[in-house]
């Protein structure tokens, strides 16, 4: 009898050690993968578009200072159908990645949808942070190269993001109050029944905005989003990624074990999305490169593992919503697609009919 008990105890210790080893391996893998992927999540990929003269700059004051958005008007001139397009972790200071790297705005406006593209906010998760980002009182890090424009940018050949470092990121307040009201008062845009979608960082942010501002956002789309950020290892991995993507300190956004982590986690606030009956489009690629990705081998190396991680997060969210009996979500898991603009642009085209039917 003692031998049986001993063997069971030994088996238990082995399982515990195995679980611990698996967790440490996951942590290490994500810590390595996410910084690589962060460079993808801001604009690396084979899609290309650059500056679109159809848009115009729209500046709005905020507690962060003046913030630029790019506005694309609906083809029929309506002001009632509006969608916000959110960028990734390496959001640039001159153009939103959706304009710089895709042509989705042209298609959205053909569907008589006004497109609002906020510019800037790398590593922000479009959240209201608790404090300015610094390390031991010293702001550090710079954004990716791009043309210089705006009060938060410096330099002629590149830019350094000081927003969120010399002051505190307040992106949720900006999107749901400052920008929302300015679009209504200055352009006549509807401030209710809008849509919002985003990639990677912007994907989880889109669901967050819809969960807590259901009158403004009746539709939300997430592509390759991190929808289970409370999972073991995710906070540590995002910490490294945010240092890579602009030199941001994650503790300024949400301190360790602070309640904001739960507020920001789609897996946690899923019941709110169900209760709001928000129409959702949730997508992630398989991690298998598409044919058009072959010209960018480095993008494949970086984007494949990151998309696999995003897919795991997205599948966890799917299971969570299913456990709640939610039927307000369309899931899209294409057989190919890595963490790049080709994947995300293709997803927008698939999503547009559903978006069009659920806004305005």
Q: Which residue is catalytic, options 39, 204, 224, 339?
A: 339
Q: Which residues pair with 135 in a beta bridge?
A: 138
The Cα–Cα gap between 302 and 39 comes to 8
Q: Do residues 64 and 170 touch, judged by C-beta distance below 8 A?
A: yes
118 pairs with which residues across the strands? 69
CA distance 118 to 184: 16
- Nearest CA to 226 out of 312, 302, 300 is that of 312
Task: Pick the catalytic residue from 99, 161, 172, 307.
Answer: 307
200 is catalytic: yes
Catalytic residue among 200, 204, 224, 332: 200
DSSP H/E element including 345: helix 341-357
3-state percent breakdown (helix, strand, coil) of the chain, nearest 5: 45, 15, 45
Torsion 130-131-132-136 (CA) sign = negative
| CA–CA gap between residue 79 and residue 342 (Å, rounded) | 29
**Chain centroid to CA 344:** 11
Q: Minimal CA–CA distance to 161: which of 241, 81, 245, 80?
A: 245
Contact present, 282 and 216 (Cβ < 8 Å): no
CB–CB of 276/324 below 8 Å?
A: no
β-sheet with 217-223: strand ranges across: 56-60, 67-72, 114-118, 82-86, 194-199, 217-223, 279-283, 329-332
Q: Which residue has the tokens 């050690």?
A: 17
3-state DSSP call for residue 222? strand
Give the active site residues: 200, 307, 339
């Amino acid at each position: 009898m003692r031998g049986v008990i001993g063997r069971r105890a030994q088996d238990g210790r082995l399982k515990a050690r195995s679980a611990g080893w698996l967790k440490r391996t996951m942590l290490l893998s994500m810590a390595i993968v996410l910084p690589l992927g962060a460079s993808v999540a801001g604009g690396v990929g084979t899609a290309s578009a650059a500056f679109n003269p159809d848009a115009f700059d729209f500046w709005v004051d905020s507690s962060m200072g003046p913030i630029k958005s790019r506005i694309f008007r609906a083809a029929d001139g309506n002001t009632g159908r509006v969608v916000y397009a959110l960028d990734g972790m390496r959001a640039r200071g001159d153009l939103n990645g959706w304009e710089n790297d895709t042509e989705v705005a042209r298609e959205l406006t053909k569907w008589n949808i006004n497109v609002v593209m906020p510019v800037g906010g790398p590593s922000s998760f479009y959240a209201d942070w608790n404090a300015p980002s610094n390390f031991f009182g010293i702001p550090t890090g710079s954004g990716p190269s791009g043309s210089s424009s705006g009060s938060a940018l410096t330099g002629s050949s590149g830019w350094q993001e000081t927003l969120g470092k010399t002051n505190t990121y307040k992106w949720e307040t900006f999107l749901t109050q400052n920008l929302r009201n300015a679009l209504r008062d200055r352009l006549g845009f509807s401030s209710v029944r809008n849509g919002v979608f985003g990639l990677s960082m912007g994907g989880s942010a889109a669901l967050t905005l819809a969960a807590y501002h259901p009158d403004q956002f009746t539709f939300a789309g997430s592509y390759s989003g991190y929808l289970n950020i409370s999972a073991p290892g995710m906070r540590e991995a995002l910490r490294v990624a945010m240092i890579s993507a602009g030199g941001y300190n994650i503790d300024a956004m949400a301190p360790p074990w602070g309640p904001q982590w739960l507020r920001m986690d789609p897996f946690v606030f899923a019941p709110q999305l169900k209760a709001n009956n928000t129409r959702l489009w949730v997508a992630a690629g398989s991690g298998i490169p598409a044919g058009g990705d072959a010209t960018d081998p480095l993008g494949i190396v970086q984007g494949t593992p990151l998309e696999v991680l995003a897919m795991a997060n997205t599948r966890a969210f799917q299971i969570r919503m299913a456990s709640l009996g939610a039927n307000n979500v369309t899931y899209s898991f294409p057989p190919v697609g890595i963490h790049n603009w080709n994947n995300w642009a293709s997803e927008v085209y698939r999503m547009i009919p559903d978006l069009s039917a659920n806004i305005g």
